[in-house]
Structure 1
Amino acid sequence: MSNAILQENSSVDTSKISTGEPLKRIKLPAVVSIRDFAEKINKTPAEIIAKLMQYGVLVTINESIDFETAQIIALDFGIEVIPEEEKPVEKEAEERGPLQPRTPIIAVMGHVDHGKTTLLDYIRNSQIAKGESGGITQHIGAYQIDWQSKEGEKRKITFLDTPGHEAFISLRRRGAQLTDIIILVVAADDGVKPQTIEVINLAKEANIPIIVAINKIDLPEADPERVKRELSEYGLVPEEWGGDTPMVNISALKGLGIKELLDVVLLVADLKNLRANPQTQAVGTVIESKKDPKKGATATILVQNGTLKSGDNVVVGSVYGKVRFMENDRGKRLSAAGPGTPVLIAGLSEVPSTGDTLMAVASLAEAKKLALDFARTKSVKSLKTLKNKGVLEIAKELEAKQQKRLLLILKADVSGSLETMKELIRKLSVPELALEIVKSEVGDISESDITLAQTLGALIVGFRVNLNSALKKLAEQNAVRIRLYEIIYDLENDLREIISNILPPIIIEVEIGKAKVLQVFRKDKKATIIGVSVLEGKLLKGSKLKIANKNIETEIISLRKEKNEVKEAEAGGEAGVGLPGNINVEVNDVLKAYILKEEKRKI
């Protein structure tokens, strides 16, 4: 439960608390199970469950509650609880041994097509850019290189290749949280763009230094000075102008300026004095994860502290396992990986989520327990549910608003792609249409996916996954809709189109003509008959009419030319117009004729 909710509940009824003795005080973690909470405050689980029911929260003995909820319940029993102090990982690491210099972690970021992947391609002497669908990086990868510094020392540098397309904003944010330095790539022929500004803001929020790589300087239209001027407007002032932002002119395609860029990276890294303890148990973050047909559940881990070893017992969020083997970005098997090193590991019980924390622990049993505890925190019960609307209330609101729903089953090749798909769904949500993700997971489309889609009437959206011929036939037989994509642009555009087709169209007024009233022939309860001169466009029988400056709207019920009934009257001619009822219209009034047209809603 949040602090705001706690404040709202700060007027907890303490009259039940005995004032004869001081309150008993105990320490509790951020999340505690009902069983453990009952044991700590010397009550039975049944008493805790009953007390929570009084507040309208239904729980079982195996479920958990958050600290603030436990605090309120404990007060009702005359017990004060305080939060347990969590020792920072860095402090714990320092206590286990001296800190040593570690490999710097660099994120390469910037606007789409400004040359991020080409830069890494040149540095790593690989062909990443050519191998990606649509010519863009689809999800985060981590790579490490060896580089000889100016002093002749062989140094390692780790790169996070962070996608530039706006759909990957959540991945870029995670990249910014992991990195020590950001290389902001800006094309010399294109300048500052929306994602350039976004990266600058991310860096400022996270207090991460930026090195600007002004790319494509080999092009005739390149203008590095213009780029510097534009960047200075956002607080990135070049060092040569008296600022503190290093800027290096490069051509990632031809390799110009790359040596100077990497020398600057090492210089900035040295100024940051990056340190870690390789002697302690490993702590790292999941950069990417997927289920490999041959290797099973795998995850790319960026080791941030300690040393991860083959055979280590690990917990990764709600997943646990024993490291069966580790590989670097070139597929070479490793026995150990120190701070700042990215490695792919196998041996996990399931595919972990991108961004989850890995910790090496003493035993597999401990790893399994920690994973179970973490899983419980995902379904923590809290008194804040009192503030939430019930299911029936929400259902009634949907019915009252006649809100439509689009149920989605998301399948992706890796967890990073899945996260991006969810981000797109959130971005494209509109009040008139409830976009509901009923299932989302890594892996190919399965028979159970098709069965669920058929039962719920859901749309299956797959990104870089397979659908075998048997399942395709099954889907067709059961009228299950499946969309498969290889490029994120296509997925976004199709979702926009699907949503636009579901939403009711927009009704717009299209003006078709103007006319001036020449004479009023009749005006009574049944009808108003006038003579008009058509000034522009045309008048149509059945079209709507507005009388200028009178806030009067009506319609044409009859249209005559020389006593003949006609369907339209064009500009330059005169016509008799019939209107329903007694309309306040006079000679010289200007009439505007229009029709109502349906237009597809654009998202």
Structure 2
Amino acid sequence: MQQKSKKAGKAKGKQSNLRTPIVVVMGHVDHGKTTLLDKIRGTAVAKGEAGLITQHIGATEVPLDVVQDFCGSHFGKEIEIPGLLFIDTPGHHAFTSMRSRGGSLADLAVLIVDVNEGFQPQTIESLSILKRFKTPFVVAANKMDRIGGWHTTTNAPFAKSLKVQSERVTEVLDTRLYELVGELYKYGFDADRYDRITDFTRTVGIVPISAITGEGVPDLLMILVGLAQRFLKDNLQLTATGPGVGTILEVKEEKGLGTTLDVILYNGEFFAGDTVIVGTSREPLVTKIRALLKP
């Protein structure tokens, strides 16, 4: 079980009573969900900060320090949230119900789309989940480095990468982004490239990225932190004491342990020996916590 409430106490140099925003990463299989998280984790490891990254089952905790280091001088000031908690949802169609649970749990979402392939069946399914749960989201238009003639600037902000591209490459990217804008419009969303948006409450931001080279990833992280800070503060208020409230991601049998629940705890506290009530498809299940494990 992942005790989020006990970790979400401090932002960089500033006390905060905000918990870590939960960000679900959704999209079609092979469009780059796990690669994106690997890039964020790997960059932190390369900076000697492996100890700050906690890899849980299906979730990655990224403290604000790591986000700030990735973004460098482009990072905003006076950020109160403690970081970001990413949930990597399975992309295969067999995991539809788990993706749906992830969507309902999330404060924010990243819908990752291969900019060269566009919308695919699981992209559309993910979009319908986000729409149903009214989850704010941004679109990560991935694999821009695969456009023919692309010049890579590793881990660079999007604006910096764009400056070194030829006019032809820029035009191809713009065309593909406008195709995504058109697809989103079909499903009832106004969208545009993120740096052309003045009101993120009305328009979905599309962030061109490469999960492989890291280009555009600083922009994506800054937007997620900015959206959480500006629009979700009321939802992120933390009560670090009192009964625990969480969401179950997965139920499984662990050898030597028996039935184990992977849980995101987003308010209050859990202790071994506590009585908990778990919703099931039939009737509520009342049981006791035998042990709390952090993988």
Kindly indicate whether residue 224 of structure 2 is the aligned counterpart of residue 265 of structure 1: yes
Kindly indicate whether residue 63 of structure 2 is the aligned counterpart of residue 146 of structure 1: yes
Question: Which among 235, 238, 255 is matched to residue 293 of structure 1?
Answer: 255
Does the CA contact (< 8 Å) of 1:314 and 1:323 recur in 2?
Answer: no
Counterpart amino acid of residue 324 in structure 1 = A
Question: Which among 257, 267, 272 is matched to residue 305 of structure 1?
Answer: 267
Distance (Å, rounded) in 2 between the aligned partners of 1:232 and 1:279: 43
Shift in Å, 1:315: 2.0
Structure 1 equivalent of residue 132 of structure 2: 205
Mark the CA change 1:169 to 1:324 in structure 2 (over 3 Å): closer, same or farther. closer
Structure 2 equivalent of residue 182 of structure 1: 109
What SS does structure 1 have at the residue aligned with 2:293? Answer: strand
TM-score, scaled to structure 2: 0.66
Question: Which among 268, 289, 294 is matched to residue 322 of structure 1?
Answer: 289
Distance (Å, rounded) in 2 between the aligned partners of 1:192 and 1:144: 28
Kindly indicate whether residue 179 of structure 2 is the aligned counterpart of residue 226 of structure 1: yes
Shift in Å, 1:217: 0.6
Structure 2 equivalent of residue 244 of structure 1: 203
Shift in Å, 1:194: 2.1
Question: Which among 248, 256, 265 is matched to residue 215 of structure 2?
Answer: 256
Write out aligned runs for 1:361-510 (5 A).
Answer: none
Deviation digits for residues 491-515 of structure 1, max 9, x if unmatched?
xxxxxxxxxxxxxxxxxxxxxxxxx
Does the CA contact (< 8 Å) of 2:241 and 2:268 recur in 1?
Answer: yes
Does the CA contact (< 8 Å) of 2:83 and 2:225 recur in 1?
Answer: no
Distance (Å, rounded) in 2 between the aligned partners of 1:168 and 1:291: 18
Q: Which runs of 4+ in 1 moved over 6 A?
A: none
Distance (Å, rounded) in 1 between the aligned partners of 2:102 and 2:242: 24
Does the CA contact (< 8 Å) of 2:113 and 2:119 recur in 1?
Answer: yes
Mark the CA change 1:275 to 1:300 in structure 2 (over 3 Å): closer, same or farther. same
Counterpart amino acid of residue 326 in structure 1 = L
Bigger Cα displacement from structure 2, 202-211 vs 117-126: 117-126
Unaligned stretches of 5+ in structure 2? Answer: 1-15, 44-56, 69-74, 149-172, 279-284
Counterpart amino acid of residue 166 in structure 1 = H
Does the CA contact (< 8 Å) of 2:197 and 2:205 recur in 1?
Answer: no
Distance (Å, rounded) in 1 between the aligned partners of 2:245 and 2:23: 18
Counterpart amino acid of residue 292 in structure 2 = F
Counterpart amino acid of residue 113 in structure 1 = D
Shift in Å, 1:282: 0.8
Q: Matched residues, percent identical?
A: 35
Distance (Å, rounded) in 1 between the aligned partners of 2:277 and 2:246: 9
Bigger Cα displacement from structure 2, 258-267 vs 316-325: 316-325
Kindly indicate whether residue 240 of structure 2 is the aligned counterpart of residue 278 of structure 1: yes
**Which of the pair has the greater relative contact order for Cα pairs under 8 Å at 6+ separation?**
2
Shift in Å, 1:319: 5.5
Q: Which has the higher strand share?
A: 1
Bigger Cα Rg: 1
TM-score, scaled to structure 1: 0.34
Shift in Å, 1:321: 2.5
Does the CA contact (< 8 Å) of 1:142 and 1:287 recur in 2?
Answer: no
Deviation digits for residues 196-227 of structure 1, max 9, x if unmatched?
22222221211111111010010025633432
